[in-house]
Amino acid sequence: MLTIKKAGLKDYQTVIDIMNESATEEELRGFVPPEGVSPKFLEQLKREISRLDNGVVVAEKEGYPMGFAFYRLVKDSLEIEEIDVRKEFQGQGIGRALIRHVEDVAKERGSKRLVTGTSMNREGKPWKAYSFWIHIGFTDTRKKIDGPHGLKYTGLVKQL
């Protein structure tokens, strides 16, 4: 049975491990900065996870962490900063369960929508998770966002 629990500071390294095990080097090529995960992002994640009422949850099965989601409330939206599932468990409903949990949190907090984005490579091809987001009801805003390291992102939104 899959359980979703609030992350604590002791889960910080686990979350990093999940990120590192969510895609192959080949898949990442062209979609992430050459140096890998941004130190600024890791600092934001650590700061968030150390808060008592944080927006980081971990999906576990029999105590084994399989995926996580990092989100935060921004005005009337709940913004999904990151969601990752270990490569070997992708396609088994874990990402969908995490998003369902985040949707419930958003509704409890009175949010009107979920927002996120996905990176695009230099040729304009979106990251592999793009089809996942569309499949679970997100819409491409067609708004392209310049991210750090010269990467572009496409905005995605789901009305609640």
CATH number for the domain spanning 94: value is: 3.40.630.30
The more confident residue out of 156 and 36 is 156
- pLDDT (tens digit, 9 = 90+) per residue, 46-65? 999 998 889 999 999 999 99
C-alpha span between 9 and 15 (Å, rounded): 10
* Phi–psi pair at 71, nearest 5 degrees: -140, 165
> Starting at the edge strand that comes first in sequence, how are the strands of the sheet with 56-61 ordered?
2-6, 56-61, 64-74, 77-85, 113-120, 152-159, 139-146
pLDDT tens-place string over residues 3-47: 999 999 999 999 999 999 999 988 988 877 666 667 788 888 999
E strand segments, 11-76:
56-61, 64-74
Distance between CA atoms of 132 and 115, rounded to whole angstroms?
14
**pLDDT score at 35:** 61
Residue 159 reports pLDDT greater than 90: yes
Band the pLDDT of 121: cuts 50, 70, 90.
confident
Tell me the residue range of the domain where 15 lies: 2-159
Query: 73-77, 92-96, 136-140: which range is least confident on average?
Result: 73-77
Domain count within the chain: 1
